[in-house]
Each structure stands twice: as structure tokens, then as C-alpha cells.
Amino acid sequence: MTTRKLPLEVSAGRSRLLEVDGLVMRYDTEAGEVSAVENVTFSLGRGEAMGLVGESGCGKTSVALSLLRLAPDNARYQSGSILWEGVDLLELSDQKMREYRWAEISMVFQGAMNAWNPVYRVGEQIREAMDQHFDPPLNKSEKDQRVDSLFQLVGLDPALQTRYPHELSGGMRQRAVIAMALSCEPKLIIADEPTTALDVIVQAQILEELKEIQEDLGLSILYISHDMAVIAQVTETIGVMYAGKLVEFGSTREVFHRPRHPYSYLLLSSIPSVTGPRRRPVSLEGTPPNLLAPPAGCRFHPRCPWATEQCRTEEPPMMEIGPSQWAACWNSEQVPEMGEQLP
């Protein structure tokens, strides 16, 4: 294993679109400073699908909101950069940043299917987004044609654009949200828990449609999810976050078949498998730490079955485990293969 930063190069044949380097973000609260994002580094290529996974409160959504500069007012960026085609988004004025939102980077927010304004028709709300971000502006006929095309793209009858949100099912509303995210032809869509509260059949349909849309349009997509099984279906690379830190990064195939961080292994081991080898699901004991006062050393050590004294006192750097996999763990060689049981 060699110690080094995560690579910022992207997959062969792809040009770099997004580069997050050493991002550190804090929330100032009445109780103190919350260490929400701690030295996060990754890159995303054009047309690539990447996932960020981890339990609630691990910093995934904070990273996503940072990409759009939509973090709450009490957020403070201490260091690092977010380069979009070479432009540092953290250095832009608020006015300039508005030019990037929706037109360059759009987002399907967590719980967005319930965020429609109930007194306006769905199509009207999508046209409003186009009015705000298309330059030069589209005329009425062009907007109507575009909404029709978007609805067809996400598997909806264009006639549904005249309905109010409450007249659509949850799956329809979620598809309409995706249509809105696509309305201004962005290069990147951030999908934050895009299938939350949907049944498994509709989940599978929406994920498959997103995958097809990504391939057809050449989009990049960043999926945010606590469900590693969902991420496996639609991504090429994956980053596992814990307590504000990126603890493992690599190709989705490598991380799923041979996780090298104990947290990744325990997350995967807690998921029942209906296609893989028979194994007893392993529970992930404990809860994430309080980020007002995170533990010394590795932040995962209080919950780790393989923790040593070094883990309790020294913070592990990101270490290269293989050609397409990195993990921040002093004892990554002790993490079992998937299917093996805990000692």
C-alpha cells in the first residue's frame, strides 16, 4: 500500500468535469463548530456516474450542497476547492454562481417529490425554471415543445404537465422532478436520495430510466444515498463517507466485491443478498459520532471490530490498495472478503 491523495484524474477516454480537492466545511452552531466535511477529495468525468454513500449525517448532502453553493448560511468553507471545468466555484460571486445552477449543475433534492408548489400546475413550474436560466430565453412554443419532450424522456404522458402536483402519484412526481432537473440541459445532475419513499418496483423503474437518460444524453450524475444496493446498479465509481470524511473510494465493482474499509464492509454485510452466496447479515452496531467533538484517530474506531491503539490515536490517510481503490484504514488487510464472517 502507498500513501497518497486520491487521484484527480478520471477514467480513460473521459475529460475532467468536476474536481473537489481537500474540501473542508464547518457549520457554526450555538453548540459549537460542527466538522461536517473534512478534507474530501474526488473527481468526476464527463458522462460518468458516481455514488456517495453512508449513514445519515455523514456529510453526503453537505458535499452535494457545496457543489451548488446552497449550503445554509451558517456553513463556512475553511479550505479546499471545487473546480468546475477549471473554475473554482467557491471563488465566484453569488450572482455569477447563479449562472451555473440549473444550467450547468442541477439537483434532485431529497424529498423533492413533495416540494412542488401545490397551487401551480407541474408544467408551469418547469417553464419557470427555464425562464430563469435559458439565455437567450425560449419563446412559449419552444418551452411547450421542450416540456413535452422532457416528459416523454422520463416516461410520463405529456398531458400530465397540466395537472397539479396532488393529482400525480409519488412516482410520477419524482419523474417530473427529474424532468425539471433536465430542463436547462445541465452537464451534471446531483441526485440526492432520488428514490426515497417509493416502493421497490417504482425505485427500480426510476433508476433504470435515469441510467438510460444519462447514457443517451452523455450526462454526469452524482448519486447520494444511504443504500449501497441502490448505488451498485447505476454507478461506475463510489465514495464511502463516514463522519464527514471520505473513507473509501474506488470502482463500484472493486468496493462491492472487496471492500477495504471496515465501515464499507459492515454496510455491505448488513444488506441481505438474494443472488450472491448465502451469508448471515451482520449488524452495524453503534451510531456515528457527534461531529461537535469527533473522536481522535480514525473516526470509525469506536465501532470497528479491528480497531487497534494506532486507530485510536492516529488518523489514517487515504492509502492506495489497488489500481482503482483507496481506503483510509490502518488495518485494511484484515477486512474480510465479502461473504466471510466477522471474527
- Residues 114-166 have pLDDT tens digits of 779 999 999 999 999 888 888 788 999 999 999 999 999 999 999 999 999 99
The burial class, CB within 10 Å (0-12 / 13-18 / 19+), for 308 is middle
pTM beyond 0.85: the answer is yes
Spell out the CATH class of 3-104+187-273+282-334: alpha beta
User: Within 13 Å, how many C-alpha atoms sit on residue 334's CB side?
Assistant: 12
- Residues 73-130 have pLDDT tens digits of 999 999 999 999 999 999 999 999 998 998 899 999 877 777 799 999 999 999 998 8
Contacts of 275 (CB under 8 A, 6+ apart): none
pLDDT of 2 above 50: no
Question: How many residues are recorded in the chain?
Answer: 343
One DSSP character per residue, 89-107 reads: GGGS-HHHHHTTBTTTEEE
How would residue 200 be classed by pLDDT, with cut points 50, 70 and 90? Answer: confident
User: 237 — phi, psi (to 5°)?
Assistant: -130, 160
- Cβ atoms of 313 and 297 within 8 Å: the answer is yes
- Cβ atoms of 113 and 177 within 8 Å: the answer is yes
- Residues 249-294 have pLDDT tens digits of 999 999 998 999 999 999 988 876 655 566 666 778 889 999 999 9
Domain edges within the chain: 3-104+187-273+282-334, 114-185
CA gap 193, 212 in Å, rounded? 18
Q: Which string of b and e fits 318-329 if b means at least 16 CB within 10 Å?
A: bbbbeebbbbbb
